Structure 1
């Protein structure tokens, strides 16, 4: 019998114009759906604060020892569900919910400029878009240099690449929370499948 896998999925609290954050609503819906009987799914709401992310993420990785961590964030510009390929270390000057940004303007002083996910997002995207999910999926290399990108980079660093970031559009533009949750479920199961069947430590780093 397969050993149970642990997957941690996070959404973000409201910020700016996003008084309801589609990412956390979708993640709560996903929790109801579950990921099947051999996956332990844990969900957490992440504050839109740089310092909170720095404190929270190491404790989440430590506590759950997940096979995969998937962060979900909302993008007002997104019209598809968007898979982010990599996280960036520098360029953080957007003020968070505490009107703060890191003095160094980076996630991790001395860290690589960019860390790629160990998951082949193009492959995930292709597999899901050929299914009849009814939700369009695309791929991006720029998670936006705000809390989304900051969280993703930190998680990729902590998890040696075993992390993913998914941007979702605001609710109703065009997808409902239920549609987003179904899409997340399919995407995460594909990611687990790819991680399981790919050679270990394909974790490469490059600078843009």
Structure 2
């Protein structure tokens, strides 16, 4: 039986007609990496509903998991280190909800760390010519919400063998054209970067140890 790598992207939000996370991951649907096959699915940009959808996919597929989300204004693929247990929405989600200072899981810990080899992924992305960094915050919107929710689901179900994490990606050029001064990366670069991230995750049991922090 082939292993399954679940790649999820989000539906568009904040009046954007597209979401680069979904455009990138759906291009890899069915791609094979040795004995592993990619399954791409779209998540709603809705508090609560996104976690429910992710939990259902984990239950049905028992995959390795990488979640990908849009981060307009970032210049690189951002491999997230940690998801925190708080929703604090600057804008409403696609259902009109805007939770502020609410715990994602009242019974959960303050944070969960990614179980992807985040520094090895950054190393390999840079070696492939794809701008990348370790990020210390996934924000407090639906991206962090579902990242934390995924890791909490895995912990609660005892699925220690399922590796989970989150990657934020910049705008596409056509989006940046509507946001003067905003950085962007071409879709082909994003797709190539996700290929590297998946390949490194599948081939790396223990992450490398090298500097990846920031002063602020």
**TM-score, length-normalised on structure 1?**
0.84
For each residue in 1:23-62, what CA deviation from the matched residue of structure 2 results, as whole angstroms up to 9, or x when unmatched? 1011122226x13352121111111101211321211110
The equivalent of 2:26 in structure 1 is 28
**TM-score, length-normalised on structure 2?**
0.81
Question: C-alpha displacement at 1:103, in angstroms?
Answer: 7.3
Question: C-alpha displacement at 1:8, in angstroms?
Answer: 0.3
Report if the CA contact (8 A) 2:12-2:18 is conserved.
yes
- Look up the SS of the partner of 1:30 in the other structure: coil
Report if the CA contact (8 A) 2:87-2:145 is conserved.
no
Report if the CA contact (8 A) 2:69-2:168 is conserved.
yes
User: Of the candidates 139, 146, 149, which is equivalent to residue 134 of structure 2?
Assistant: 139
Distance 1:174 1:76, change over 3 A: closer
- Look up the SS of the partner of 1:31 in the other structure: coil
Aligned counterparts of 1:103 and 1:171: Cα–Cα separation in 2? 29
State whether structure 2 residue 89 is matched by structure 1 residue 88.
Answer: no
The equivalent of 1:205 in structure 2 is none
4+ residue runs of structure 1 moved beyond 6 angstroms? none
For each residue in 1:99-137, what CA deviation from the matched residue of structure 2 results, as whole angstroms up to 9, or x when unmatched? 1144771211120111001223123212332x2x22111
Report if the CA contact (8 A) 1:81-1:137 is conserved.
yes
Distance 1:47 1:139, change over 3 A: same
Which range moves more in the overlay, 141-150 or 97-106? 97-106
- Look up the SS of the partner of 1:182 in the other structure: helix
User: Of the candidates 16, 19, 40, which is equivalent to residue 17 of structure 2?
Assistant: 19
The equivalent of 2:56 in structure 1 is 59
User: Of the candidates 164, 183, 191, which is equivalent to residue 201 of structure 2?
Assistant: 191
Aligned counterparts of 1:104 and 1:128: Cα–Cα separation in 2? 35
- Look up the SS of the partner of 2:38 in the other structure: strand
Unmatched 5+ stretches in structure 2: 174-182, 208-216
For each residue in 1:153-192, what CA deviation from the matched residue of structure 2 results, as whole angstroms up to 9, or x when unmatched? 0111223472111111111243221211111011111012
Q: What is the alpha-carbon root mean square deviation over aligned residues?
A: 2.0
